[in-house]
Amino acid sequence: MLSCTLNIRIGKWCMARLQGLTKWLTPGIGVKRWLLLTLFGVLLTAAGLAYAVLLLLNVHLVEGLVSFTEWMLVVAVIILGLDIVGIAIFKLSHSILAPYRKNQQGRVIDVVYAHNVRQKGLKVVAIGGGTGLPSVLRGLKPFTSNITAVVTVADDGGSSGRLRRELGVLPPGDLRNNIAALADDESLMTHLFQYRFNSGDLGGHAFGNLFISALAGVTGSIETALVETERVLNIQGRVLPATLDDVNLVATVQVDGSPPRKIVIQGESDITKAGGRIEQIGLNPPDVQGYAESIQAILDADIVVIGPGSLYTSILPNLLVKDVAEAMRATSAYKIYVCNVATQPGETDDFNVADHVLALEQHIGRGMFQVVLANNAYPILNAGSNTRYVQPAPAHHEILRRYEVRYTDLTDPDQPWRHDPQKLAQAILKLGEVEREGSGKLTLTEV
């Protein structure tokens, strides 16, 4: 019985190999001709080399001396054979690789070179959410494919909130935005992923949110859905949730009045609508478990970037996950906090750089990062009337004794209240380079 089962398995294995070979020999796929041409080139080169050996041994059967013409003929045969082999291998490689690079632009060598450069890049983890974190990802993806975005899943508003309430899935909005940031900006699939319906029952929903939610239902888990989504968009890196638990934000807000009063607000989308000053923010439930792969990515990272993004509703929800905070303290990575370019109404009105840092310390303690990267350019062009730039920390402020604070121009020329991805990436990479070289502290404006 055992022998019969073994014979059946061997037979199936042989049939599978035979079917694979048959596919390679299918007419029209552009493989057989180049394989045969390669074989012909190899045989021609081998014949030339063999005849050259005979000439060197002076065993020519017709003449005793070797003429110059014979040597030229031998060399010509060898060169022709090598040329044929080179052309055939190039064509064969092009035929085999074509299905895998149809979405890649440029010459093969450029695509391969860029791929290898990114593969050897730094291991970077970026923590946050909203519209700020994608700036980091867009800026860094040309330099490394070892990027992990750890994203908040506490959103309960808009399309994400509706899907969360109706389908019971993790809110996909921040996950979608960061996946799109790591994809090809010019790809039709990326534009489709970000497309938002304007009317009907689907009005307000982004296609990517629906796609991720549907895929989570098909596969049975958001983790598998994210992996498959990243494969579809062929992204450089990966996007992971901070936690897989169903979590909400709870904030204590002081609102104006006579007298001023404190109120407790639950739900991320309602916090900034209160119109007061956020004094404290937390998670409900408070003891959610960090996602294991996110934790491991932080521990393995060379650089961890915190932000930019909404301080209370995008950045802190990640760091308030206990496992994430513990990983941040345990990792040997160089940790950079990127302060916002502009204040955010309802969250950080009138905040300067020091106020942002103190708010982080209030919630997660000191020493979570080594350096603060902040903007020091305040353009008027394209800024509009509502932009309020985050001002530098006051001279001799206490945070300057605890952290290195690096200032540089980080503004986007078209939307100066946001970070320019290229400027931000260059500043982060320069900070990482200085740290690796151990060249000591820079002045506040040397980034």
pLDDT of residue 113: 56
Could you say which architecture CATH assigns to the domain 111-152+242-247+285-447?
Answer: 3-Layer(aba) Sandwich (3.40)
pLDDT of residue 91: 79
* CA–CA distance, 125 with 312 (Å, rounded to integer): 19
Predicted confidence at residue 441, as pLDDT, reads: 47
Provide the 3-class DSSP secondary structure of residue 225: helix
Residue 443: per-residue pLDDT? 41
Q: What would the pLDDT profile of 144-192 be if each residue is shown by its tens digit?
A: 989 999 999 999 888 998 999 899 899 999 999 999 999 988 788 889 9
Distance in angstroms (rounded) separating the CA atoms of residues 310 and 312: 6
Cis peptide before 285 (omega within 30 of 0): yes
Q: Are 224 and 212 in contact (CB under 8 A)?
A: no
- pTM (2 decimals)? 0.77
At residue 444, the pLDDT reads 43
Distances in whole angstroms, Cα of residue 333 to Cα of each of 138, 304, 370: 21, 6, 10
Q: Which amino acid is at 294?
A: S
Cα→Cα distances 188→103, 111, 198, 207, 235, Å: 10, 19, 19, 13, 13
The pLDDT, as a whole number, for residue 74 is: 80
Partners of 373 in beta bridges:
338, 406
Q: Domain residue spans in the chain?
A: 24-100, 111-152+242-247+285-447, 157-226, 250-280
Residue 255: per-residue pLDDT = 85
Q: What is the pLDDT of residues 91-148, one digit of tens each?
A: 777 766 665 554 555 555 555 555 566 667 789 999 998 889 999 999 999 999 899 9
Spans of the chain below 70 pLDDT: 1-31, 58-66, 95-119, 438-447
Interatomic CA distance for residues 79 and 19, integer angstroms: 37
Phi-psi region of 411 (alpha: psi -120 to 50; beta: other; left: phi over 0): beta
How many helices (H) and strands (E) are present in the chain, helices listed first? Answer: 17, 10
